[in-house]
Amino acid sequence: MSPSKIRHSFATLEPANPASLIAAAADVALLLDEKGVIRDVAVAGKDMAALGSSSWVGRRWTETVTVESRPKVEALLQSAGAVPPGPDSARTWRHVNHPSREGASVPVLYATVPAGPPGQVVAIGRDLRELAEVQQRLIAAQQSLERDYLRLRQMEARYRVLFQAVSEALLIVDATTLKVVEANPAATEVFGESPRKLVGRPIADCFDPDSQRALRTLLENVRSQRRTEAARLRLASGAVGVAVSAATFRQDSQTLFVVRITPPGATDAEPASAPSRRALLAAVHDAPDALAVTDPTGRILYANASFVQLVQAEFVEQVLGQPIDRWLGRSGVDVAVLLSTVRNGEAVRLFPTVMRAQDGGETQVEISASSGAGDDAQPWLGFLIRDVGRRLPTTSERVTTGIGRPVEQLTELVGRVPLKDIVSETTDLIEQLCIEAALKLTRDNRAAAAEMLGLSRQSLYVKLRRYGLGDYPAEAQD
């Protein structure tokens, strides 16, 4: 037969190696008998070989797929004999999942073709992992866009509510045309115009002709990022003078002004010379004396840098929320007396006590304390703590030995007075000095002084009578 008479058709092809042809045309190919048992497997690439397909031979096809894919495999086997062989035959492709050793299932798109002896079927599969990965990325990108859109709508809703509810008069002005883009209800009250008349109107028309030049200068300075103070302008009616300030922001590719109008006598107006809140907070934070603010129970709400340094902490977060008596006071009595006094509305000045650091060291300090309430009516207690450990002693403190007489005079009594009498006199003197110090520290609070000294209240009353230290209750005389 001459070459011109040869019929060129897929039906006439007789490849020497059908397995090579099938493997080249598909990612995975299965040869199945009439019972659906896999007799041979051909895979293309190491990715498909990683499925463990070599162990499929001799097993039913339905045993190599996930549970939800088994009905699809049965349908593919049934449809294989229903479609006559041929290149023009329409095949049904079905998505089947194979379990993987890595845990995630591997998606494969299969079609079945009858081949060879009756009942023998070839299943041709295409790996869908790359397509599934692209679909997952697309879904993730779509979800991210939806979240961003929802967040944007929520932010816009909050902006709308704030813009409409704020008591300040605000105008949004186009920086190019200097026309009003938006006005809140407070601005309509200031200008006496409806929002419909204000929007789209040049902002200069809202002010007196003599004030329009100052307004343009203000906006030009703000747009060029120059520091500028609020300008005193007069409204178009000429009856009211207002303070006008502005700031810029970007929306898409458009520059806008937010113009703030403050009528005279507004409660939130502050003198130009008044220090800002930020400057006051910086001064308190960097103050050389330690400052702590607590709630009524004594838990620290704020501490400045000097307080953190005094207690030898590394960060301010280590002291926030902690009880102040963790570092303050010789015992719990000091802090109890302080908190009780300050909570009653009384100010405490120069209260002597000690501060205990993290490393166990103690520092002599003086405390002044007061109480107050914040803007939310929540009460607070403030403690100003000054380190007096380096303060030079006074003349009287240098002269006094602390036990009433010099040590030399006590040693001169040896041999003249029995040791028992010397010790007794010294003990009584030290006991009297300790009681006086406790009463001074507790501001003559007898119960707190007894607790500080480790005595019962009755024992303290007895000693007060013994040393003639002030008045004492009648029951202590019994």
DSSP sequence for 270-298? --TTSPPHHHHHHHHHT-SSEEEEE-TTS
What distance in Å separates the CA atoms of residue 423 and residue 55, rounded to the nearest whole number? 100
378 in the same domain as 401: no
What distance in Å separates the CA atoms of residue 208 and residue 239, rounded to the nearest whole number? 10
Whether the Cβ atoms of residue 416 and residue 338 lie closer than 8 Å to each other: no
81 in the same domain as 42: yes
380 in the same domain as 448: no
Q: At 443, which CATH number?
A: 1.10.10
pLDDT value of position 463: 83
Quick: pLDDT tens for 206-242.
888 888 888 888 888 888 876 666 788 888 776 667 8
The answer to whether position 136 is within a domain reads no
416 in the same domain as 382: no
377 in the same domain as 307: yes
pLDDT value of position 391: 63
What distance in Å separates the CA atoms of residue 261 and residue 215, rounded to the nearest whole number? 12
pLDDT value of position 192: 80
Domain stop point among 343, 369, 391: 391
Q: At 249, which CATH number?
A: 3.30.450.20
Cβ contacts of 322 within 8 Å, gap of 6 or more: 299, 300
The boundaries of the domain holding residue 365 are 279-391
Whether the Cβ atoms of residue 185 and residue 171 lie closer than 8 Å to each other: no
Torsion 469-472-474-476 (CA) sign: negative
407 in the same domain as 386: no
The answer to whether position 427 is within a domain reads yes
Give burial (CB, 10 Å; 0-12/13-18/19+) of 337.
buried
The answer to whether position 1 is within a domain reads no
The answer to whether position 256 is within a domain reads yes
Q: What is the pTM of this model?
A: 0.36
Domain stop point among 111, 127, 143: 127
360: left (phi over 0), alpha (psi -120 to 50) or beta: left
CA 385 to chain CA centroid, nearest Å: 30
pLDDT value of position 466: 78
pLDDT value of position 402: 44
The answer to whether position 4 is within a domain reads no
DSSP assignments along 54-111, one per residue: GG-TTSBGGGGS-GGGHHHHHHHHHHHTTSPSSTT-----EEEEE--TTSS-EEEEEE
pLDDT value of position 375: 59
User: Measuring CA to CA, which residue among 89, 128, 131 is closest to residue 112?
Assistant: 89
pLDDT value of position 11: 52
DSSP code for 468: T
Instruction: Give the total residue count for the chain.
Output: 478
User: Measuring CA to CA, which residue among 179, 178, 170 is closest to residue 200?
Assistant: 179
170 in the same domain as 222: yes
pLDDT along the chain (478 residues), means of 10: 51 57 75 87 72 81 89 86 53 84 81 82 86 85 88 84 82 88 85 81 86 86 74 76 84 84 62 61 83 88 88 84 82 71 80 80 85 74 83 46 49 61 71 81 80 84 78 52
80 in the same domain as 119: yes
Partners of 180 in beta bridges: 173
The answer to whether position 470 is within a domain reads yes
309 in the same domain as 246: no
106 in the same domain as 19: yes
415 in the same domain as 333: no
The count of other CB atoms within 10 Å of the CB of residue 260 is 18
The answer to whether position 139 is within a domain reads no
Nearest 5°: CA angle at 409, between 407 and 413?
Answer: 115
94 in the same domain as 31: yes
CA 73 to chain CA centroid, nearest Å: 53
The answer to whether position 132 is within a domain reads no
Long-range contacts of 319-324 (CB under 8 A, 24+ apart): 319/292, 323/297, 323/298, 323/299, 324/292, 324/294, 324/298, 324/299, 324/300, 324/383
Whether the Cβ atoms of residue 62 and residue 37 lie closer than 8 Å to each other: no
Domain stop point among 103, 127, 151: 127
Work out how many domains the chain is built from and give that number.
4
Quick: pLDDT tens for 133-143.
888 888 888 88
